[in-house]
C-alpha cells in the first residue's frame, strides 16, 4: 500500500484528505498538535484497509519531524508528503501595522521553515518511492493576491509557493504541487475572521481536486482546487 504523511490532520482539510486516502487503502502517518483529537481521528480511520499512525507534536520541532519520517519508514516508505499544518500569525487577523513580529515569525516557521524541514528529511524516502514520490504543499490565494489583514499569512504562503516551484525544478523525478484549496469553512478561517458569517464550503468538497492530482500526476506547479474541480 502507498504511504502518506499528512500534517495538520486532526481536522479540516487534513482530516478530510486523510479519510479519502484511507478509503483508498493508503497507510497514513498523521500529525497534529492536539494528541486527543488526533487519536480520535486515527481511531475513526483505522476501520479502513490501511494502517494509521498518529504522531502528535509540533511541526516546528525537528525531533517531531523526525518521528513522522520514522513512522513512514516503519510502514515501508513514503509516497506522498502533505504539508497542511498552518499558522495564521494573528488570531483574528490584523493589519500589518498591528501585526506582532513574533506572530509573523510563527507563521513563517510553521508554514515555510517546518515544511521545508520535513521535505528535506522526507526526500530520501520520496526519491525511493516505487509509485513516484509526491509533495503537496497546501497554499492559499492570500499568497498570490493582496487582501487586507492577510499580509503575514499571505507572505508565508507566497514563500511556500516559491519553495515548491524551486523544489519541482530541483527534483524532476518527483511531483511537487502547491495547491490553493479555495474558500473553506475551517477552524483556521474562523479564527482568522471570526465575524464572517457567510457560509463556506466544507473541506471535504475540495478533496476530489487533490485526488485528481494523485490520479493524473500532472507536472509540478501551482494549482487551485476550484479549477481542478471544474475541469474534472
Catalytic residues: 153
Q: How many residues does the chain have?
A: 232
List all residues 6 or more positions away from 164 whose beta carbon is below 8 Å from its beta carbon: 135, 137, 139, 176, 177, 178, 220, 222
Q: Which residues pair with 81 in a beta bridge?
A: 5, 135
Other Cβ atoms within 10 Å of 130 Cβ, number: 8
| The three three-digit cell numbers of residue 21, written as one number | 486516502
Burial string for 63-96 (b: 16+ CB within 10 Å, else e) reads ebbebbbebbeebebbbbbbbbbbbbbbeebbee
Amino acid at each position: 500500500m502507498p504511504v502518506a504523511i499528512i500534517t495538520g490532520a486532526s481536522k479540516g482539510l487534513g482530516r478530510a484528505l486523510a479519510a479519502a486516502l484511507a478509503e483508498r487503502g493508503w497507510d497514513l502517518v498523521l500529525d497534529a498538535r492536539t494528541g486527543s483529537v488526533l487519536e480520535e481521528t486515527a481511531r475513526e480511520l483505522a476501520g479502513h484497509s490501511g494502517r494509521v499512525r498518529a504522531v502528535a507534536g509540533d511541526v516546528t520541532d525537528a525531533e517531531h519531524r523526525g518521528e513522522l519520517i520514522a513512522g513512514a519508514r516503519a510502514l515501508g516508505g513514503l509516497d506522498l508528503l502533505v504539508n497542511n499544518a498552518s499558522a495564521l500569525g494573528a488570531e483574528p487577523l490584523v493589519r500589518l501595522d498591528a501585526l506582532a513580529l513574533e506572530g509573523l515569525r510563527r507563521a513563517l516557521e510553521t508554514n515555510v521553515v517546518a515544511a521545508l524541514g520535513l521535505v528535506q528529511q522526507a526526500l530520501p524516502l520520496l526519491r525511493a518511492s516505487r509509485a513516484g514520490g509526491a509533495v503537496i504543499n497546501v497554499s492559499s490565494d492570500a499568497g498570490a493576491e493582496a487582501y487586507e489583514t492577510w499580509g503575514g499569512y499571505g507572505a508565508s504562503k507566497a514563500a511556500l509557493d516559491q519553495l515548491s516551484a524551486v523544489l519541482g525544478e530541483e527534483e524532476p523525478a518527483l511531483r511537487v504541487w502547491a495547491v490553493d484549496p479555495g474558500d473553506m469553512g475551517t477552524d483556521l478561517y474562523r479564527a482568522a475572521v471570526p465575524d464572517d458569517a457567510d457560509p463556506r464550503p466544507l473541506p471535504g468538497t475540495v478533496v476530489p481536486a487533490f485526488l485528481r492530482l494523485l490520479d493524473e500526476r500532472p507536472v509540478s506547479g501551482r494549482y487551485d482546487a476550484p479549477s481542478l474541480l471544474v475541469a474534472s
